[in-house]
Amino acid sequence: MESTYVSILPIRTSDLADISVQTVYANNITFLRWIVSNGDDSISMKQNSTNIYIANCTFYNGLSFAMGSIGQYPGQINVIENVTAENIILYDTIYGARIKTVRMSRPALWRSH
């Protein structure tokens, strides 16, 4: 199922929450005027999230924005593209934003000719 043209309006989360919201296989999502206080990602864009707009939000504590983990599921194509965030206020967050990737459990083998 694909979400299309969804606007998610104000929400307040408590310190009891982990991740406030995740987008997965989502397209054309808008987050406006969110106030989030938690100990993890405030808004997390995961695999195949496209055209995400985030504006006029305030995040307290936690990790702020996260994009990823890309490459988490072997053999699957994963994209995160066209993410726009503007007019964001951060208080005591560890990051402003971060991109999460998955480190392979075994080193890649390269063959040269």
The sign of the torsion formed by the CA atoms of 14, 89, 100, 1 equals: positive
- Residue 18: active-site member: no
18, 40, 41, 92: which is the annotated catalytic residue?
A: 40
Q: Which residues contact 61 (CB under 8 A, 6 or more apart)?
A: 15, 37, 38, 39, 91, 92, 93
Active-site positions read 40
